[in-house]
Amino acid sequence: MNCEQLIQYLSDYIDRNLSEELTAEASEHLATCRNCHVVLDTTRQTIILYRETGRRGIPIERRADLFDRLQRSLADRKDCTS
């Protein structure tokens, strides 16, 4: 496997979606190619950074408001249909 192919398969490698044969070829390439190894590590770190920081939800001060608004809309709607 060369560098270009490794990059092509990188996401599948990270997600463990490659066949056993391709996984072995990729691992073999990674063992000897520092650049590709850096790309692998930094791609993984990119995913981790977003996963750790990207899961902020509705701001706490807006949350109750939003739920109330939903309840009111549903109640209004019921009034209309009854």
Partner 1 sequence: MAVPAIPLDALRAGDPAALSALFEAYADRIYRLALGVLREPSAAEDIVQETFLSAITHLNRFEGRSSLGTWLYRVAYNASLDRLRRRTDEPLPPDEPEANPETGEAVPLPRSIVDWAATPERWLTDREVAVELDRAIGELPESLRVVFLLRDIEGLSTEETAEALGLTPGAAKVRLHRARLALRERLSVYFSERMPREGGTP
The amino acid that residue 75 corresponds to is A
Nearer CB in complex with partner 1: 24/38: 38
27 is a contact residue toward partner 1 (CB under 8 A): no
Out of 1, 2, 7, 20, name the contact with partner 1 by CB under 8 A. 7
Out of 51, 61, 79, 82, name the contact with partner 1 by CB under 8 A. 51
What b/e readout covers 14-35, taking b as 16+ CB neighbours within 10 angstroms? eeeebeeeeeebbeebbeebee
CB of 26 to partner 1, least distance (A): 14
Tokens 């691992």 sit on residue: 27
